[in-house]
Amino acid sequence: MSRFFATGSDSESEESSSADEITPKAPGATFKQSLLLSDDEEDTKRVVRSAKDKRFEELTNLIKTIRNAMKIRDMSKCLEEFEQLCRAFLKSKNIVDKEGIPPFYIRLLADLEDYLNQLWEDKEGKKKMNKNNAKALSTLRQKIRKYNRDFESEIAAYKEVKGKEPASSDICLFVPQGSSSDSEGEVSSKSFLKKKPEAPSEATKFLKTDESSSSDEDDDDDDEDWGSDQSGSSGETSDKEEGKTSSMSVLFLKKAQDTEKLGVRKEERKKKLKQKERIEEEAEEEGGEESGGGWEKVKGGVPLVKEKPKMFAKGTEINTAVVVKKLNEILQARGKKGTDRAAQIELFHALAAIAAENNLGQGILVKIKFNIIASLYDYNPNLAAFMKPDMWKKCLDCIDELLDILFEHNNIFIGENIAEDSENLAVSDQPFRVRGCILTLVERMDEEFTKIMQNTDPHSQEYVDNLKDEGRVCGIVDRLLTYLENKGSTEEICRVYLRRIMHTYYKFDYKAHRRSLGLQGETKSEQDQEESEGEDSAVIMDRLCKFIYAKDRTDRIRTCAILCHIYHHALHSRWYQARDLMLMSHLQDNIQHADPPVQILYNRTMVQLGICAFRQGMIKDAHNALLDIQSSGRAKELLGQGLLMRNMQERNAEQEKIEKRRQVPFHMHINLELLECVYLVSAMLLEIPYMAAHEFDARRRMISKQFHHQLRVGERQPLLGPPESMREHVVAASKAMKMGDWRTCHSFIINEKMNSKVWDLFPEAQRVREMLVRKIQEESLRTYLFTYSSVYDSISMATLSEMFELEMPTVHSIISKMIINEELMASLDQPTQTVVMHRTEPTSLQNMALQLAEKLGNLVENNERVFDLKQGVYGGYFNRDDCCLCTTTDQKSYQQKQSGYQRGGYRNQNQGNY
């Protein structure tokens, strides 16, 4: 170093020479700089810092920035500064190897890791973070854990010392306590950068002087980190000797004597603080007894409630007007930011108790109850959130109490049409008039119950416990129904009837079912006998729905009632009533214009209708009812029983929340595996005979695409083992039926595995299994005749009856229908009871003529349709006069008879059955 910059003593020059060794300079640099300096600049005193000072100052500045970012939870800034800190520490590797790792660096690593772990465990806090901060938190947590592996021993030693010290020590947390303004980073940087003006030696730069220690607020904290002031006030010569003989890292270590003294002082402080808190608590209790006001002790953070409104001052005459005024005061805080909703509910309860004590009448009590229930609903401002169990119990209790008051006092009139000015809450000869709607509260209660069931794990005991509350909910609805039948309007009665229907339509009435089978004598207890003697659910549904059909003015309530009525009929195997009601209502024409919940109810009703038809042996009707739901591949979503994974382009987060609120609770679900099995078995019973009849027909149409897809999947399998899943059982049964082997088909459809998965879930499982066996035998016979008719010249009906274990009249009936529908070219020889095959196959010219006639007919229909669109008249050629209509319909029916299965297949035959 050049002598030009040296302004200190000889001892200082020795230290400066050591600094020169660390940072060598170019030989001509000093000379050039000395030429450029002016006289004024020469007079100013220049401070020369070593490379160690510069590196440590850089580290302390970065640490300070990180701690400031930690205070405001800016994880992005923390990550950025931590990466810079790691790079800066890597640059100072040479100095760290000589002097040792600085303690402030170890302190930051330990504090930062603890801080990140606290944030990571705070689930609510993580949800409130924005996307960048959450991502930075995850990245920084991984980096700090990986980085701290190199400093495990140092961090463990620091935490051990930290654990022995009191919690208020400055090394424990990065968050400042009390009124101290300097962070640990600042203390560290000052300790490294502050110097004595008289003798700026290297050793004394890292020690706190009397001035620096007096500038801080707590001398004990400084002693804890840097040793006593006596070590800082020692002479320069001793400092120089220590700097030469020992490592500078010794100065960073704490002294055992100081820590002992500090521990004694901290214990004394704790005792003083406890005594002070005890005195304050006693003073607060005395002040609270004397007057209701005064200071309020707040635990942690800024209080949310600014000030609790006082109830009533001493000596106030409590009457109806005063209570109403206080009620309005409490209501003014409703919905405002920072309002404690739980405290507001408590105030309402306290006000209701005061009104009851002073006998102010039932009118004011009813009004307060209305507000309590509304406040309970407002406790969760988020629509998607559901009520907590304690709030739910309070809500049910309040509604029960309100209904008790309304039933006991007939002179209370409530309604939404009563204005607040015309309310009569005081006790007088006039009846009480209160503004409010009990029906709206009960409807909201019903919706909250649905939300609770939607947000509970259906496979847990909690779901069962919550489901037990449905009895209480239905009891409240029944009580309200009784009340409104006497005092409500027709519109209100229809609304409460629909609520009752919605809790009844999906439940199977086992008691009515047992009564119909004549098993009611088996019930032993008197309670069961009383319940069995009650009104059947079918009678209740019929009474409630017919009232809505007659009185309701809104289409939505009537539509929901019709769908629930059909569902209930189908659930109890009343197929013809359910089918007729569905066809007479014409809901299928305009259901696409209804809101999504009604569409979900329509889908559920159609599915239940198809399952009912299957139980009754109406295979074709069952297939047609289930076709739309199953062919879409979205049965789970269409029935409101779950969401399918989709791209974010099709459905954003907001739409997903809305769709989740539409989901049906688990106890109302329809078994999707049962639904698919019913559909596939129905498709098998229709498709296999059709495929056998049109095996060589190029224009063959598919009845069920999903069934064909399952068949193709089964054919692609390289190894065919025994079937395991329900679909594999149906595919294996289809292959057996295709060969006319009804016994193998029967063994695949009805076995222990299929019984446990599907068939035992039906109320009358044995009757369904018998029906299935019968249908498999009949369709296997048809398939056998289609497949092997070209092999036989004639076949005995007795042989067929023995092969398929069917009665002779049944075999005769099946073969006669096939001959009449021209599906089988044969004739019956009655004396010998044989079927004689005719073998009248059409020639190639006849086949081509038939195809030409069909294509010409399609062309004429298309031309007529285009002509009708231009003219604006529907019907066109076929509606010109009655004569033409008759001839064309005759021609059309003749063509259908000629083509049989070829024109439209099974799906277009006998559509007039409905």
Q: What is the pLDDT of residues 91-104, one digit of tens each?
A: 888 888 888 889 99
DSSP state of 172: T
Average confidence (pLDDT) over 178-201: 39
Query: Looking at per-residue confidence, does 708 or 579 come out higher?
Result: 579
Per-residue pLDDT at 896: 43
Lowest mean pLDDT among 183-192, 608-617, 685-694: 183-192
Q: Under a CB-based contact definition with an 8 Å cutoff, are residues 801 and 815 in contact?
A: no
Query: Over 70: is that where the pLDDT of 24 sits?
Result: no
Per-residue pLDDT at 841: 64
Q: How confident is the model at residue 284 (pLDDT cuts 50, 70, 90)?
A: low
CB within 8 Å of 822: residues ≥ 6 apart: 897, 898, 900
Q: Under a CB-based contact definition with an 8 Å cutoff, are residues 104 and 185 in contact?
A: yes
Query: Looking at per-residue confidence, does 24 or 749 come out higher?
Result: 749
715: left (phi over 0), alpha (psi -120 to 50) or beta: alpha
Query: Over 70: is that where the pLDDT of 767 sits?
Result: yes
Per-residue pLDDT at 280: 63
**What percent of the chain stands above pLDDT 70?**
71
CA 66 to chain centre: 37
Average confidence (pLDDT) over 377-390: 79
| CA nearest to 60, candidates 81, 43, 80, 77 | 81
Residue 463: burial class (beta carbons within 10 Å; 0-12, 13-18, 19+): middle
Query: Over 80: is that where the pLDDT of 908 sits?
Result: no
Domain with CATH 1.25.40 in the chain: 320-512+536-582
- CA–CA–CA angle 657, 661, 664 (5° rounding): 135
Query: Looking at per-residue confidence, does 23 or 321 come out higher?
Result: 321
Per-residue pLDDT at 140: 92
Q: In the CATH hierarchy, which fold is given to the domain comprising 320-512+536-582?
A: 1.25.40
Average confidence (pLDDT) over 246-265: 54
Tokens matching residue 590: 């305009």
CB within 8 Å of 125: residues ≥ 6 apart: 119
Per-residue pLDDT at 165: 58
Query: Over 90: is that where the pLDDT of 542 sits?
Result: yes
**What percent of the chain stands above pLDDT 90?**
31
Per-residue pLDDT at 292: 40
Beta-bridged to residue 882, according to DSSP, are none
Per-residue pLDDT at 310: 57
Average confidence (pLDDT) over 243-261: 50
Number of neighbouring beta carbons within 10 Å of residue 429: 5
Query: Looking at per-residue confidence, does 880 or 380 come out higher?
Result: 380
Query: Over 60: is that where the pLDDT of 659 sits?
Result: yes
Average confidence (pLDDT) over 8-20: 41
Query: Over 70: is that where the pLDDT of 286 sits?
Result: no
DSSP state of 424: B
Per-residue pLDDT at 287: 45
Q: What pLDDT, in 10s, does the model give residues 796-847?
A: 999 999 999 999 999 999 999 999 998 888 999 888 989 998 876 666 787 7
CA 308 to chain centre: 36
Query: Over 90: is that where the pLDDT of 570 sits?
Result: yes
Per-residue pLDDT at 196: 41
Q: Under a CB-based contact definition with an 8 Å cutoff, are residues 222 and 213 in contact?
A: yes
Per-residue pLDDT at 706: 85
Lowest mean pLDDT among 136-140, 459-463, 712-716: 712-716
Lowest mean pLDDT among 429-433, 617-621, 712-716, 885-889: 885-889
Q: Under a CB-based contact definition with an 8 Å cutoff, are residues 294 and 280 in contact?
A: no
Q: How confident is the model at residue 623 (pLDDT cuts 50, 70, 90)?
A: very high
Instruction: Catalogue the E-assigned strands of 383-521.
Output: 412-415, 432-435
Per-residue pLDDT at 851: 84
Query: Looking at per-residue confidence, does 284 or 823 come out higher?
Result: 823
Per-residue pLDDT at 298: 52
Average confidence (pLDDT) over 46-75: 87
Beta-bridged to residue 415, according to DSSP, are 435
Q: How confident is the model at residue 126 (pLDDT cuts 50, 70, 90)?
A: confident
Per-residue pLDDT at 584: 93
When the pLDDT of each residue in the chain is averaged and rounded to a whole number, the result is 76
Per-residue pLDDT at 842: 64
Per-residue pLDDT at 700: 72
What strands lie across the sheet with 794-796, from one edge to the other? Answer: 794-796, 834-837, 826-829
How are beta strands 834-837 and 412-415 bridged, if at all? unpaired
Per-residue pLDDT at 693: 85
Query: Over 70: is that where the pLDDT of 210 sits?
Result: no
Given the structure tokens 């009871």, which residue do they identify? 833
Query: Looking at per-residue confidence, does 649 or 230 come out higher?
Result: 649
Query: Looking at per-residue confidence, does 236 or 100 come out higher?
Result: 100
DSSP state of 508: -
Per-residue pLDDT at 306: 44
| CA nearest to 693, candidates 781, 775, 782, 801 | 782
Tokens matching residue 791: 């092999």
Residue 457: burial class (beta carbons within 10 Å; 0-12, 13-18, 19+): exposed
Query: Looking at per-residue confidence, does 428 or 184 come out higher?
Result: 428
CB within 8 Å of 306: residues ≥ 6 apart: 338
Phi and psi torsions of 364, nearest 5°: -70, -30
Query: Over 60: is that where the pLDDT of 536 sits?
Result: yes
Per-residue pLDDT at 316: 72
Average confidence (pLDDT) over 602-628: 94
CA 262 to chain centre: 54
Q: How confident is the model at residue 383 (pLDDT cuts 50, 70, 90)?
A: low
Average confidence (pLDDT) over 752-756: 89
Query: Over 70: is that where the pLDDT of 707 sits?
Result: yes
CA distances from 650 to 428, 628, 653, 656 (A): 62, 21, 10, 10
d(CA 598, CA 557): 10
Tokens matching residue 466: 């919550």
d(CA 366, CA 432): 10
Q: What pLDDT, in 10s, does the model give residues 304-343?
A: 444 445 577 666 778 888 888 888 888 887 777 777 888 8
